[in-house]
Amino acid sequence: MSQTQEILALVVLIALAGVGLLVGLLRSRGGKDKQLPPQAPSAPPATREPSVGDESAPPRDTPKRTVETSAGVDLLEPPVVEPTPTVETPAPAVGRLQRLRARLARSNSAMGQGLLSLLSRGGLDEQAWEDVEDTLLTSDLGVEATNELVDSLRTRVKVEGATDEATVREWLRADLLTLVDPSMDREVASSRVDGRPAVVMVVGVNGTGKTTTVGKLARVLVAEDKDVVLGAADTFRAAAADQLQTWGERVGVPTIRSDREGADPAAVAFDAVKGAAEAEADVVLIDTAGRLHNKVGLMDELGKVKRVIEKQSPIDEVLLVLDATTGQNGLRQAEVFSEVVNVTGIVLTKLDGTAKGGIVVAVQRKLGVPVKLVGLGEGPDDLAPFDPEAFVDALIS
């Protein structure tokens, strides 16, 4: 083949290669511009109804809530579950003093054991009888009651002669029970009266455990299936209303209070009684500020609280809280409070910390009203309805 033929064949090959490349490029561009037919949307995935006991399932009675994100997609938000406050069930109040009898007996052993030791040794002379009197007086029994008890014991010894411990215990039990007076009405007003709640006002000096006593009394009444409302009319002591409200919340009892420290206590008490009436409660317990019995202005203010309450409802009960360790000073306190607010019952606190159980007799004689409740410890259920027989048995056990 000549050189000219070779050159011509090479040009033909190059031309054919260029045409093939051009056709390939055109086909590629045409594929990109071609629109595919629309596809039907895919079916949503099958859902499964949660079964009972399925931990992954939200509660059936809880509505599902969604939140909108920035991308416009709704996501399931887990439900907010509010914690349920734990409501306590107080121990039954019936027979509570008998269950606490051992604690009471330990605190009053000086009185009971001292008397039994003196009277059981036989050959009682005047010095022995003076020792009996001293034991009774140091137990805060009071002069009048002490003289009555000693005279009765002297007569028994003279007539019957026997002084063994079992006999002396019987004598003491009978005479002390007479002094404590089981015939007094010790029921705390806690039931509706003429279609309205019973109103109980709680008063006392500073430091007697008054607010705590109101809280414990609420537990006693709740244990008796009473519908209770608390009124926080102690508006001067810091955190007194908070303390009372905490007691109420523990047993599911509402507290009516003012959020302003130093608010008018009479107004709070009035609102509490009104609120209890609207709620158709069985009883409303009004906590008042502690005050010194020898401060005329404070006692006048307490009288004002009482008068304001009475514009809304009669007061069915005024409980005076006394510290059992205060002795004769407690009797003076009781006397002054009774003059201002007409006390109807006594609550003796801290009776577990003293050997002076005679204060029960002394305060009843001083005011002519019964001891209705006694505090025998720091526990929430250590406030007990007063049981004269259980009390006397504890004194001489």
Annotated binding-site members for GTP: 204-211, 287-291, 349-352
Nearest to 391 by CA among 352, 335, 343, 344: 352
- In angstroms, the CA 107 to CA 95 distance is 19
Question: Dihedral angle at the C-alpha atoms of 182, 185, 191, 194, nearest 10 degrees?
Answer: 150
**What are the distances in angstroms from CA 379 to CA 88, 192, 384?**
14, 29, 11
Task: Give 39's contacts (C-beta < 8 A, 6+ positions apart).
Answer: none
Per DSSP (E only), the strands in the chain are: 65-68, 74-77, 198-204, 228-233, 255-256, 283-288, 317-323, 345-349, 371-375, 383-385
With beta carbons less than 8 A apart as the criterion, state whether 252 and 227 touch: no
DSSP assignment, residue 44?
Answer: P
> Mind giving me the DSSP string for 84-119?
PPPPP-PPP-TTHHHHTHHHHHHHTHHHHHHHHHHH
Tokens describing residue 289:
């500020």
DSSP assignment, residue 326?
Answer: G
The torsion angles phi and psi of 157, rounded to 5 degrees, stand at: -65, -40
Compute the chain's Rg from CA coordinates.
42
**What are the distances in angstroms from CA 344 to CA 215, 229, 314, 334, 350?**
19, 20, 14, 11, 20
DSSP assignment, residue 260?
Answer: S
- In the chain, what are the helix, strand and coil shares in percent, each to the nearest 5? 50, 15, 40
The burial class, CB within 10 Å (0-12 / 13-18 / 19+), for 45 is: exposed
Q: Annotated binding site: which residue ranges?
A: 204-211, 287-291, 349-352
- In angstroms, the CA 231 to CA 257 distance is 6
